[in-house]
Amino acid sequence: MTTNAKKQNRILTASLIILIASLIALIAITSGANRKAKPPADEPPVGETWNGGRDREDESSAPAKSPAPSDDNGKSDGKTAPSFAPAAGETEEDEGFDERLAPTAEMNSVEKTPDGKAGSGVGAGSEADRDTAAVPTSADLTDELLPTFRPPLENAVAVKGCSLAVPVFSATMDDYRTHGGIDFACAPGTPVLAAAGGTVVSVAKDPMMGWTVTLGHSGGAVTRYAGLSEESANISKAGDKVLAGQVIGASGETALIESAEENHLHFELAVDGKAVDPAEYMDVVWLSDVTED
């Protein structure tokens, strides 16, 4: 290699070294300038103030805005949420609230006397003037036996028997008709007793039989005590639990269809919704038994 070539190589090498050094210096200067231009972390950027600054105070004095609604992913759509506050004169109460809570009154009708010629007993058209409870049925009293029944009066004497199929004479109506129960002689105001333990089903005023108390018993049995005084409505209430022999009312003169008869209590018995002769389920003393001699 000639002397000139070697000299040129040295010049090129020196130039390259100088160029590299210049680049390094330029990079160092640029980095330092960037670090110097960046504001400290504890100083707010230009145009912003701390929470205690005037801008924040002005912002807090402005009316509050409703939050913008967000989509299912929690992102805001940038729109102002509508206000759900009630307008003047309106309330947030549901107008149908009272209607939904208003209970529906259902009065359970009492089983009537058997079909056939109009008879003397608690018949069609009877409605509870006070209150009525659900009538127990044999399905509600599964495997329960009929209770032992007793007469509905102390020292009770029957003056007219039950005749469900054969018409008998009615002094009041002056004709022959069936008789759905037994009439026990008694003076007005005589205490009327529960023939067996049970529950007061209803206290009702029947158009024909007057004030009537109905009891439900085990085994699907129902007893009715008719022609009572109006005060009986204050003695018994639907839903009351009673024991055999407990006072449930007082005899009266309210049975229009038997008003021509001597004062008495009209007593009926039904089992599984079917009227039966009470004399077949209790010991009955008849007027003829005590007047034979």
Structure confidence by residue, pLDDT tens digits, 220-257:
999 999 999 999 999 999 999 999 999 999 999 999 99
In a domain, 47, yes or no: no
Question: Is residue 35 located within the same domain as residue 131?
Answer: no
Average pLDDT of 126-155? 71
Return d(Cα 152, Cα 246) in angstroms, integer. Answer: 9
Residue 49 has pLDDT above 70, yes or no: no
Torsion angles phi and psi, residue 74, rounded to 5: 85, 5
Question: Is residue 135 located within the same domain as residue 236?
Answer: yes
In a domain, 263, yes or no: yes
Question: Is residue 150 located within the same domain as residue 277?
Answer: yes
| Cβ atoms of 217 and 175 closer than 8 Å | no
In a domain, 232, yes or no: yes
Pairing of the two strands 210-216 and 221-228? antiparallel
Question: Is residue 3 located within the same domain as residue 145?
Answer: no
Torsion angles phi and psi, residue 255, rounded to 5: -85, 100
pLDDT at residue number 64: 45
Query: What DSSP line would sit under 139-166, residue for residue?
Result: TTTTTPPPPPP--SSTT--EEE--EEEE
| Cβ atoms of 178 and 167 closer than 8 Å | yes
Looking at the structure of the chain, the number of domains it has is 2
pTM: 0.55
Residue 45 has pLDDT above 80, yes or no: no
The alpha helices in the chain, defined as continuous H runs, are 3-37, 54-61, 97-101, 287-290
Question: Is residue 272 located within the same domain as residue 136?
Answer: yes
In a domain, 48, yes or no: no
Return d(Cα 199, Cα 249) in angstroms, integer. Answer: 14
| CATH number, residue 251 | 2.70.70.10
Question: Is residue 145 located within the same domain as residue 249?
Answer: yes
Average pLDDT of 38-62? 43
Residue 102 has pLDDT above 70, yes or no: no
pLDDT at residue number 25: 82
Q: Which domain holds residue 240?
A: 127-290
The amino acid sitting at 209 is M
Among 143-152, 192-201, 217-226, name the one with the lowest average pLDDT: 143-152
3-state SS, 90-137, equals CCCCCCCHHHHHCCCCCCCCCCCCCCCCCCECCCCCCEEEEEECCCCC
In a domain, 220, yes or no: yes
In a domain, 69, yes or no: no
In a domain, 71, yes or no: no
Q: b/e string for 39-73 if b means 16 or more Cβ within 10 A? A: eeeeeeeeeeeeeeeeeeeeeeeeeeeeeeeeeee
In a domain, 97, yes or no: no
